[in-house]
Amino acid sequence: MKPPICELCGHDFRHQWDGSDAGGGLVQFADYRPLPGNQVGHPAGLGFFCSVHLTQARSLHHLSMIDAMERMQQTD
């Protein structure tokens, strides 16, 4: 799993994040795939977003993560 750093702006909120939405949160996108078995790593389609970008990221969760990122970069 990646540390809590915003996929869009790179804001590092690992010192605020406690597993809830403090400082930012996790978003599962349409292409989310859990890691098989007990494999260690970061699942596809799962991203951290800071509190500034979390609401917008969640509103785009029906898209693949790449499509959502493109959409957010255009409107930012």
Which stretches of the chain bind Zn ion, using CB under 5 A?
Answer: 6, 8-9, 11, 50, 52-53
**Rounded least distance, CB 38 to Zn ion, Å:** 31
Nearer residue to Zn ion within complex by CB, 10 or 36: 10
**Rounded least distance, CB 71 to Zn ion, Å:** 14
Nearer residue to Zn ion within complex by CB, 8 or 40: 8
Region class of 13: left (phi > 0), else alpha (psi between -120 and 50), else beta: alpha
Amino acid present at 25: G
Tell me which residue has its CB nearest to Zn ion: 6
**Rounded least distance, CB 15 to Zn ion, Å:** 15
Q: How far is CA 2 from CA 43, 75, 76, in A?
A: 9, 25, 23
Asked whether the beta carbons of 11 and 24 are under 8 A apart, the reply is: yes
